[in-house]
Amino acid sequence: MQMTLRWYGSKYDTVTLKQIRQIPGVTGVISTLYGTAPGEVWETADILALKKEIQDAGLELAGIESVNVHDAIKVGSPDRDRYIDHYITTLERLGQAGIHMVCYNFMPVFDWTRTELARMRPDGSTVLAYTQKAVDALDPEKMFDSIAGEMNGAVMPGWEPERMARVKELFEMYRDVDDEKLFANLKYFLERIMPVCDKYDINMAIHPDDPAWSVFGLPRIIINKPNILRMMKMVDNPHNGVTFCSGSYGTNLENDLPDMIRSLKGRIHFAHVRNLKFNSPDDFEEAAHLSSDGTFDMYEIMRALYEIGFSGPIRPDHGRMIWDETAMPGYGLYDRALGAAYLNGLWEAIEKQAQRTP
């Protein structure tokens, strides 16, 4: 595996490449052209400039998170082919620039959903949190406003104000889309992009829906083992793979994370590893990465990744806000650096143990 950190670009991120370079064991970043809208074709010059900036800082651009999928593709509207053509051109240009991993999601309207961005924990750190009660009480059109005040001035991925201003229209678009239609639209999209992925060896890594169930009655399909295996089979190409995000699949306590990892051998192209602390099955907060701070056994998650021979980029995920840092919620420097060091430590121990055991 290659340890990385997500970085939004010098125009948007409070964390610098220099700081990332100083986290022991982090050799790459996962980035994106953060200013681009879903459906836009990415310019080669912009891709190359991003890559060069990262390389000049002594790091590697280990993959893209995300090239976002336009809603026309997700709902399967008549103009979807035009947007798929754009997506293919972007992939071609990424491939030509030597980029081989692209993370994306197929979530309708909202990307990841949290009801609080700064819940205080007993140690005084603040974290992202979710409570179903709050979602049930909320008008979906007010979702953005309900958390906007806690964004620390950042534009949160998937929660761009321009998209959120159209939220009513977006809900209307998805009115007739159920899980089956979403699966069919995803299949159509994947079948069209696989040839370019084969040509340039680009691993597509779908991000799970977070939380891993339907919110506001919208369809959600990338949520559990049966669905993800169905997706792997429906377009049975190794370039059709997944981002294994423990914090997203883990929102549903019925998901056995190490078992899911083992069942996805060869198809995990990217890993987000973080812990959650459950207060009840429908109230959780994003704890520190350490097993003892949350509900998951992080050693078992890392061991499963090791055992399937996972060799792609991995990153610590949302960190707590600690040590008076002000940054995009979940994406400060300090706690993610602690997360990276911890995950590297687990990996070293697992690897050495495995090498010593005959």
d(C-alpha 346, C-alpha 350), whole Å: 6
**Residue 27 Cα distances to 67, 117, 344, angstroms:** 22, 29, 12
In contact, 24 and 342? CB cutoff 8 Å: no
d(C-alpha 40, C-alpha 37), whole Å: 6
CB nearer to ligand DNO: give 121 or 336: 336
Surface-to-core class of residue 208, CB atoms within 10 Å of its CB (0-12 exposed, 13-18 middle, 19+ buried) = buried
Minimum Å distance from CB 327 to ligand DNO? Answer: 13
Minimum Å distance from CB 206 to ligand DNO? Answer: 8
d(C-alpha 199, C-alpha 209), whole Å: 28
CB nearer to ligand DNO: give 105 or 275: 105
CB nearer to ligand DNO: give 105 or 224: 105
Minimum Å distance from CB 239 to ligand DNO? Answer: 17
> Which residue among the candidates 8, 130, 331, 342 is catalytic per the annotation?
331
CB nearer to ligand DNO: give 104 or 244: 104
CB nearer to ligand DNO: give 33 or 350: 33
Is residue 207 among the annotated active site residues? yes
> Which residue among the candidates 100, 174, 210, 245 is catalytic per the annotation?
245
Minimum Å distance from CB 183 to ligand DNO? Answer: 18
Minimum Å distance from CB 207 to ligand DNO? Answer: 4
Is residue 334 among the annotated active site residues? no
Is residue 317 among the annotated active site residues? yes
CB nearer to ligand DNO: give 61 or 354: 61
**CA 217 from centre of chain:** 22
Angle (CA) 321-260-247 rounded to 5° is 10
In contact, 350 and 302? CB cutoff 8 Å: yes
Minimum Å distance from CB 79 to ligand DNO? Answer: 22
Minimum Å distance from CB 202 to ligand DNO? Answer: 15
The binding site for ligand DNO (CB under 6 A) comprises 65-66, 103-105, 111-112, 157-158, 207, 330
Amino acid at 247: G
CB nearer to ligand DNO: give 6 or 121: 6
Encoding tokens for residue 23?
A: 């986290």
> Which residue among the candidates 86, 207, 239, 289 is catalytic per the annotation?
207
> Which residue among the candidates 70, 239, 269, 318 is catalytic per the annotation?
318
- Kindly list the catalytic residues: 207, 245, 272, 317-318, 331
